[in-house]
């Protein structure tokens, strides 16, 4: 079952272009194909971002520059791809801001819980030029070899389980699978839950057998990976954002002319401008599809207990992370 | 150089290095590094990919299930299982051949290692079979062929690699392999019954004898139940189940059954440390090879060809996959083969709308079959080596047994429920069923 | 099969220097420590999770033992000649062609080992800017094993090359008892 809702046909033709293998860069009328890697299927918000980027880049370059999608972690997990984009072996990638902490610790500020009140607030924050600039500054200070071109999102994260989560009390004593980050390890115990670190690929089986009770992710991710089969109740906790960033390797940017670099940046800006709206639409469509499949959705979660526990942690963790994180936190809060 | 030419060069170099005797892992790495020179990928990055390929929690199950099998083989705990098999089927026509098969079926439930099975059976059963007049080449062939069950019946190292690299439910593949494993064991028993009977016939064991043998084998026989029960009830993941099998063997089975062995345990650990690194360095190498294949867009080209040839007919696609892995299995060990070709398999599963667990079990049976086909039939090489018969002779004796695999594979392709029935009963979610709003499971 | 007195492999003595036996012994011990280490790590992971006090950093340590063990084991397996081969082509050759092919094969291995050493070292340096989650330890603490195994494999390959040229490459045939006993693979 595909997520549905993407306008373009995600299927690649058998003779889809591989990136310039021989290094014979395209100067004279040849098409230059860049590698564009991400770790979700092409039918997700990541694929949407790639398609927006491709269309705009082809348009601006008059068809001389394009990308080849590498969906589904074909080129590695996000931390692995982050290393490869920095060494210039992949031209462009998408990584979540959570996994970007493997190269820039302060990126974790976007994983703090309940800093975005709702999807609307999230969309405003990502569209805000000051937030984008602060984000870019933060990454350019810590990361060499690659640069962030634009923020994007897969929406907000929700919890799913075999049981309903109506309020923070329902987390008490439960084992929840989280990404192996400090933010999760501090927030979740504050709700009374025990965190379990587990590779994404193991989540399905572990939910199924009960090694853990709860997992949390975006709605479309929940649908695409069929986690509803093993955790058929989705509770709209919206506790954190699923934000991501588009990266370019310095190597590829330096190989471009000034004008070409502007095209690339303009194509990425297009992602920042249009992707969040489309991704949030996809989330809504996925939710409808899940309900049609018979998944039970708890829409009216009482978030107050969660928020009370989260608020002091936000300041504490942002201070631990550093000045960029504190600045971004304040900018996001100001947009409430 | 075009992408296709680079893939061609890389594959040629791997085969060339392999054929002239470079160890497989090094042949793979060397071919990848040479191919890297023709791309824009940097060499430090490809060397780093070796690390990425094994930096994975699910892969830790591999040494556990190897170690559990080796520990039991080296402590002669396996002998107790052979005695039990003997009391159950030793009286049937071709008695010891039947015992061999039944032993492998039991042993398969405890270990994911076909080589441990070969080692144990050759040590204990081969001399007895020779005394009763079986041809040593036949014995070697049967030991090798039945040892493939270790990878089909859970726990299976191939299933772990397949599930970990393909994002498929490992427990689903575990459960799915049980019935095909029993079918294959049954096939061997029938073949031995009709075609390999020496004149000796033994008496049926009495109920008392059987229950005594069962009691003596009870401790090791608990292992399959601990593994499958523990996973199914959510106590631990498949990786952790492997660890439990090792801890159980060391802390319960060996102290009770062969206490004197505890003094040698540190040697077992050191040897096992090398033992598991050998296949896993192949995993590391294969993941670099697979990365390059994906980077050069080979999966899309191959599934494009297959789509042109087979359309979206699942049966045809499955037979093409079997064919592909039979060919590949001639040259590459099962573990790297799974990793290298996983991107292609994933696109074909989508193309034919095939259940991923069904496809996984088919691939695993095919690759297990590869353990007894030349030139790289590892189990057959090992069995003929250990029993000191010529590989050629063992191979000739093995040929009729290929029929068992071919028939089983055909049945499994045409009747998906031979694979999916047990997962549907014990773990419906693993094959795509889920709890409906009214309770009860909805299966596609 | 006779119980071996020492953990050092007695195969192909003609290709080995006595002095390197110590290195092999140390590596074998480290391999044993590695597998014991990650067995214990996974065990404690289950236990601490079950009693509600998980050690969240444990998985990083466990994976460290696992990864180190693989590369150390793969290195010592070169000296012990325990790596899986596709075909034992050289066994059937005699004289100059044998020497030529044995040399060529080991040069391929040496090339791979030197790549592990040099490019692995560069990769290790890159690893100081990537961190393991959640402890935020540089991943270089794990990837350092690549150049280390490059050094070890280079040493063992050079050992075999020099001894092979001096004393000849002829070793036991692949199917003689001891060796094939250890010719293990996934199976
Ligand atoms: Na057997
Ligand atoms: Na097994």
pLDDT one-digit tens code per residue, C9-43: 877 788 888 889 999 999 999 999 999 999 999 99
ipTM above 0.90, yes or no: no
Tell whether B442 lies on the interface with A, counting CB pairs under 8 A: yes
Identify the closest residue of chain A to C56 by CA–CA distance.
Answer: A197
Ligand in closest contact with the CA of B106 = 2
Percent of the residues in chain B that have a pLDDT greater than 70, as a whole number: 95
| Residue of A83, A93, A247 to mutate when probing chain C, most C C-beta within 10 A | A83
Distance B421 CA to ligand 1 centre (A): 26
Comparison of pLDDT for B237 and A190, the residue scoring more: A190
The answer, yes or no, to whether residue B224 has pLDDT greater than 90, is no
Distance B150 CA to ligand 1 centre (A): 9
Greatest Cα pair distance, chain C, in angstroms, is 66
Cβ contact A211–B233 (<8 Å): no
d(CA A151, CA A328): 13
d(CA B159, CA B59): 11
Q: What is the mean pLDDT of residues B47-66?
A: 87
Cβ contact B434–A13 (<8 Å): no
Cβ contact C187–B247 (<8 Å): no
SS3 A217: strand
Cβ contact C126–A86 (<8 Å): yes
Comparison of pLDDT for A328 and B67, the residue scoring more: A328
Tell whether A107 lies on the interface with C, counting CB pairs under 8 A: no
Distance A111 CA to ligand 2 centre (A): 42
| Residue of B271, B367, B386, B392 to mutate when probing chain C, most C C-beta within 10 A | B271
SS3 B260: helix
The answer, yes or no, to whether residue B431 has pLDDT greater than 70, is no
d(CA C137, CA C45): 19
Length of chain B: 444
Among the residue ranges A42-56, B165-179, B191-205, the one predicted with the least confidence is B191-205
Distance B398 CA to ligand 1 centre (A): 13
The answer, yes or no, to whether residue A12 has pLDDT greater than 60, is no
Ligand in closest contact with the CA of B119 = 1
Cβ contact B277–C77 (<8 Å): yes
Q: Give the chains touching B; criterion: ≥3 Cβ pairs < 8 Å.
A: A, C
A216: burial class by Cβ within 10 Å (0-12, 13-18, 19+)? buried
Closest CA to C31 of B244, B281, B50: B281
B–C: how many Cβ contacts below 8 A? 235
Distance B113 CA to ligand 2 centre (A): 7
At B163 the pLDDT is: 85
Interhelix angle B238-248/C21-50, nearest 10 degrees: 110
The answer, yes or no, to whether residue A70 has pLDDT greater than 60, is yes
Cβ contact C39–B21 (<8 Å): no
Q: What is the mean pLDDT of residues B55-61?
A: 83
Instruction: Find the CB nearest A12 among B300, B346, B435.
Output: B300
Instruction: Find the CB nearest B278 among C67, C83, C112.
Output: C83
Ligand in closest contact with the CA of B150 = 2
At B444 the pLDDT is: 56
d(CA B272, CA B301): 40
Tell whether A108 lies on the interface with C, counting CB pairs under 8 A: no
Closest CA to C153 of C104, C102, C115: C115
The answer, yes or no, to whether residue A1 has pLDDT greater than 80, is no
**Regions in chain C scoring below 50 on pLDDT:** 1-4, 173-187
d(CA A118, CA A157): 11
Compute the mean pLDDT over every residue in chain A, rounded to the nearest whole number.
Answer: 88
Q: pLDDT of B68-86, one tens digit each? A: 877 887 777 888 888 888 8
At B73 the pLDDT is: 77
Residue A66 falls in which region: left (phi positive, over 0), alpha (psi -120 to 50) or beta: beta
Cβ contact C86–B266 (<8 Å): no
At B397 the pLDDT is: 93
Comparison of pLDDT for A111 and B121, the residue scoring more: A111
d(CA B262, CA B259): 6
Q: How far is B150 from chain C (nearest CA, A)?
A: 8
Distance B338 CA to ligand 1 centre (A): 24
d(CA B367, CA A141): 50
Among the residue ranges A70-74, B158-162, B172-176, B430-434, the one predicted with the least confidence is B430-434
d(CA B18, CA C1): 30
Q: pLDDT of B126-172, one tens digit each? A: 888 888 889 999 999 999 999 999 999 988 888 988 887 787 888 88
Cβ contact B304–A296 (<8 Å): no
Cβ contact C59–A180 (<8 Å): yes
At A259 the pLDDT is: 95
Cβ contact A196–C133 (<8 Å): no
Find chain B residues with C-beta within 8 A of A68's C-beta: 297
Beta carbons of A88 and A145 less than 8 angstroms apart: yes
Highest mean pLDDT out of B71-75, B180-184, B225-229: B180-184
Among the residue ranges A233-242, B292-301, B397-406, the one predicted with the least confidence is B292-301
At B443 the pLDDT is: 62
The answer, yes or no, to whether residue A5 has pLDDT greater than 80, is no
Find chain C residues with C-beta within 8 A of A180's C-beta: 56, 59, 133-134
Find chain B residues with C-beta within 8 A of C133's C-beta: none
Find chain C residues with C-beta within 8 A of B116's C-beta: 187
Instruction: Find the CB nearest B24 among C86, C104, C116.
Output: C86
The answer, yes or no, to whether residue A13 has pLDDT greater than 50, is no
CA distances from B141 to A49, B78, B93, B131, B396 (A): 56, 20, 18, 17, 8
Q: How many Cβ atoms sit within 10 Å of the Cβ of residue C114?
A: 16
Residue ranges with CB less than 5 Å from ion ligand 2: B 108, 112, 150, 153, 155-156
At A129 the pLDDT is: 93
Cβ neighbours of residue B216 closer than 8 Å, sequence gap 6 or more: B80, B83, B84
Compute the mean pLDDT over every residue in chain B, rounded to the nearest whole number.
Answer: 86
Tell whether A102 lies on the interface with C, counting CB pairs under 8 A: yes
The answer, yes or no, to whether residue A227 has pLDDT greater than 90, is no
Instruction: Find the CB nearest A89 among B42, B238, B296.
Output: B42
In DSSP notation, A133-173 reads HHHHHHHHHH-SSEEEEEEEEEEEEEEEESS---SGGGGTT
At B310 the pLDDT is: 81
The answer, yes or no, to whether residue B122 has pLDDT greater than 50, is yes
0.90 exceeded by pTM: no
Tell whether C47 lies on the interface with A, counting CB pairs under 8 A: no
Identify the closest residue of chain A to B41 by CA–CA distance.
Answer: A89
Comparison of pLDDT for B403 and B2, the residue scoring more: B403
């Amino acid at each position: 079952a595909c997520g549905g809702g993407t306008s373009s046909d995600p299927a690649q033709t058998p003779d889809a272009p591989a990136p310039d293998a021989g290094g014979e860069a395209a100067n004279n009328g040849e098409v230059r194909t860049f590698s564009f890697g991400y770790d979700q299927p092409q039918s997700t918000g990541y694929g949407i971002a790639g398609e927006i980027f491709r269309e705009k880049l082809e348009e601006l370059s008059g068809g001389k520059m394009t990308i080849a999608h590498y969906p589904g972690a074909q080129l590695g997990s996000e931390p692995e791809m982050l290393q490869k984009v920095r060494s210039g072996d992949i031209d462009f990638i998408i990584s979540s801001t959570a996994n970007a902490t493997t190269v820039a610790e302060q990126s974790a500020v976007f994983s703090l819980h309940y800093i975005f009140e709702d999807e609307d607030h999230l969309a405003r924050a990502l569209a805000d030029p000051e937030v984008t600039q602060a984000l870019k500054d933060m990454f350019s200070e810590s990361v060499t070899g690659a640069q962030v071109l634009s923020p994007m999102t897969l929406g907000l994260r929700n919890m799913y389980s075999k049981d309903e989560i109506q309020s923070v009390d329902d987390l008490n004593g439960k084992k929840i699978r989280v990404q192996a980050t400090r933010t999760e390890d501090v927030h979740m115990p504050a709700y009374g839950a025990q965190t379990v670190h587990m590779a994404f690929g193991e989540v399905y089986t572990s939910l199924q057998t009960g090694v853990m009770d709860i997992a949390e992710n975006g709605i479309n991710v929940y649908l695409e990976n069929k986690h509803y089969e093993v955790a058929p109740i989705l509770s709209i906790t919206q506790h954190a954002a699923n934000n991501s960033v588009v990266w370019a390797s310095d190597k590829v940017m330096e190989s471009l002319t000034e004008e070409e670099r502007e095209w690339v940046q303009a194509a990425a800006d297009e992602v920042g401008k249009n992707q969040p709206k489309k991704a949030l639409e996809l989330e809504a469509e996925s939710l409808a599809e899940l309900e049609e499949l018979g998944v039970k959705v708890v829409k009216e979660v009482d978030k107050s207990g969660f928020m009370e526990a989260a608020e002091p942690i936000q300041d504490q963790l942002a201070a631990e992370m550093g000045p960029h994180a504190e600045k971004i936190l304040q900018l996001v809060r100001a947009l409430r | 150089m075009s992408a296709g030419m680079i893939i061609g060069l890389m594959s040629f170099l791997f085969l060339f290095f392999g054929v002239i005797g470079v160890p497989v892992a090094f042949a793979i790495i060397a071919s990848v590094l040479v191919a890297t020179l023709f791309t824009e990928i940097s060499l430090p990055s490809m060397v780093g990919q070796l690390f990425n390929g094994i930096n994975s929690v699910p892969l830790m199950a591999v040494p556990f299930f190897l170690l559990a099998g080796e520990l039991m083989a080296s402590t002669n705990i396996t002998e107790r299982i052979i005695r039990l098999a003997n009391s159950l089927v030793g009286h049937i026509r071709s008695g010891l051949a039947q015992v061999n098969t039944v032993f492998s079926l039991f042993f398969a439930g405890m270990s994911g290692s076909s080589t441990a099975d070969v080692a144990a059976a050759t040590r204990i059963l081969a001399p007895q079979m020779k005394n009763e007049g079986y041809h040593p080449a036949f014995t070697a062939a049967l030991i090798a062929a039945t040892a493939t069950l270790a990878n089909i019946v859970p726990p299976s190292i191939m299933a772990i690699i397949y599930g970990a690299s393909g994002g498929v439910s490992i427990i689903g593949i575990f459960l799915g392999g049980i019935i095909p494993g029993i079918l294959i064991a049954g096939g061997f028993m029938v073949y031995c019954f009709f075609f390999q009977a020496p004149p000796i016939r033994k008496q049926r064991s009495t109920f008392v004898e059987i229950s005594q043998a069962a009691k003596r084998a009870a401790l090791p026989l608990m292992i399959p139940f601990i593994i499958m029960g523990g996973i199914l009830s959510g106590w631990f993941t498949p990786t952790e189940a492997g660890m439990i099998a090792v801890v159980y063997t060391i802390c319960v089975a060996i102290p009770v059954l062969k206490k004197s062995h505890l003094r040698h345990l540190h040697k077992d650990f050191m040897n096992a440390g090398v033992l598991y690194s050998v296949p896993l360095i192949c995993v590391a190498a294969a993941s670099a090879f697979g990365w390059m294949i994906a980077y050069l867009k080979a999966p899309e080209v191959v599934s494009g060809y297959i789509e042109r040839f087979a359309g979206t007919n699942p049966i045809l696609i499955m037979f093409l996959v079997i064919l592909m892995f039979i060919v590949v299995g001639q040259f590459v060990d099962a573990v790297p083969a799974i990793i290298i070709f996983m991107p292609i398999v994933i696109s074909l599963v989508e193309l034919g709308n095939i259940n991923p667990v069904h496809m996984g079990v088919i691939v695993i049976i095919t690759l297990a079959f590869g353990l007894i086909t030349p030139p790289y039939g590892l189990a057959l090489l090992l069995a003929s080596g250990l029993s000191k018969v010529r590989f050629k002779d063992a191979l000739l004796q093995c040929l009729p047994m290929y029929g068992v695999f071919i028939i089983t594979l055909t049945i499994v392709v045409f009747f998906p429920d031979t694979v999916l029935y047990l997962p549907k009963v014990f773990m419906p979610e693993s094959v795509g069923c889920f709890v409906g709003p009214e309770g009860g499971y909805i299966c596609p | 099969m006779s119980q071996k007195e020492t953990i050092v492999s007695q195969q192909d003595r003609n290709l080995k220097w006595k002095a390197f036996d110590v290195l092999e012994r140390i590596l074998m011990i480290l391999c044993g420590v590695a597998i014991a280490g990650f067995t214990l790590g996974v065990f404690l992971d289950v236990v601490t999770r079950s009693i509600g006090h998980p050690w969240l950093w444990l998985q990083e340590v466990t994976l460290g033992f696992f990864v180190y063990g693989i590369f150390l084991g793969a290195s010592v397996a070169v000296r012990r000649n325990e790596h899986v081969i596709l075909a034992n082509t050289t066994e059937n050759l005699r004289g100059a062609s044998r020497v030529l092919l044995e040399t060529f094969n080991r040069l391929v291995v040496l090339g791979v080992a030197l790549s592990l050493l040099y490019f692995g070292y560069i990769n290790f340096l890159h690893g100081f800017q990537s961190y393991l989650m959640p402890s935020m330890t540089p991943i270089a603490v794990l990837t350092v094993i690549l150049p280390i195994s490059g050094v070890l494999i280079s040493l063992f390959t050079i050992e075999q090359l020099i001894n092979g040229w001096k004393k000849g490459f002829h070793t036991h045939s692949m199917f003689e008892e001891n060796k094939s006993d250890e010719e293990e693979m996934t199976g």
